[in-house]
Copies of this chain bind each other. A is one copy, B any other.
Amino acid sequence: MSGVVNRQQRRHEATVEEIKSAARELMTREGSSSLNLRAIARELGMAPSALYRYFPSRDAILTALITEAYDAVGEAVEAAVAQAPPDRTATAVLAGVHAFRRWAREHPHEYGLIYGSPVPGYEAPVEATKPAELRTSDALLGLLSRCAEQGLLTLPGDASLPADVLPALCWPGDDPGRPPLPLAMRAVAMQFWIVLLGAIDAEVFRHLPAPLLEHGGAFFDHTMRRALAVMGVDQRAIDAGVSPAW
């Protein structure tokens, strides 16, 4: 009976989850981003060799952890974005970036694992992690396009871009000469992404003066609103966004 097979499979998957969560917990507790198979086994009260029933190698666990971390941020951001009313796109963006920041602060080691320096001696298999990685940026940058559609975003013309940045903004899938969306939109979206990563990196890795780190929430909020404003997002739409506690 396949119901029984499923019970077996469910048990197996439950243990896989246990292993991953032990690894995650160990990473936040010990702070080691180079994760330790024997320590995971110890945590679970198993023999180290038992883990090989569930993962073919240590690196496979790392890959799973990385994918999970990307998924976790992605999910947090998507959820925050979804809570904003559909006509309040600027609010949604602000909710999304705050969700990103909150997740990063609550999971600094997982954040470091995916957005910090790469783990030595390990190269993530791109096909496994890329889709999860893109969730966050897709969610946030997609909203910027929606801002433009809703007339909340007044872009400069593509002509305002220096000639030498154009190749940086033409993507493989693009119909050459007839890009799917204004290049200025992409430029602005990428710069928004840079500010966002920069603000979170600087805070999580503590590359800012102490008072700024202590009042990080307010300054982050201010920085992201400024970023939206200089992109050309309607100021009233920005002012309407997210008062809830960050």
Which A residues form the contact surface with B (CB < 8 A)? 30-34, 109, 112-113, 115-118, 120-121, 161-162, 164-165, 167-172, 187, 190-191, 193-199, 201-202, 205, 207-212, 214-216, 218-219, 221-223, 226, 230
Contacts and interface: CB of A to CB of B under 8 A. Distances in A.
Contact of A222 (B120, B161, B172): B161
A211 B118 contact: no
A32 B222 contact: no
B32 A121 contact: yes
A222 B33 contact: no
27 contacts: A33-B120, A34-B34, A112-B116, A112-B118, A113-B117, A162-B221, A162-B222, A164-B218, A165-B219, A167-B211, A167-B218, A168-B211, A170-B211, A172-B211, A187-B219, A190-B212, A190-B219, A193-B202, A193-B208, A194-B195, A194-B223, A195-B195, A196-B198, A198-B198, A198-B199, A198-B202, A226-B230
Contacts of A165: 215, 218-219, 221-222
Pick the most buried of A170, A207, A216: most chain B CB atoms within 10 A of its CB.
A207
A228 to B, nearest CB: 11
A205 B116 contact: yes
Given A31-B120, A193-B202, 12 more contacts: A117-B205, A162-B218, A164-B218, A168-B216, A187-B219, A190-B208, A191-B223, A191-B226, A193-B208, A194-B199, A194-B223, A195-B198
Copies in the complex: 2
Interface of A is mostly: helix
Contact of A167 (B161, B191, B194, B215): B215
A165 B210 CA distance: 13
Contacts of A162: 218, 221-222
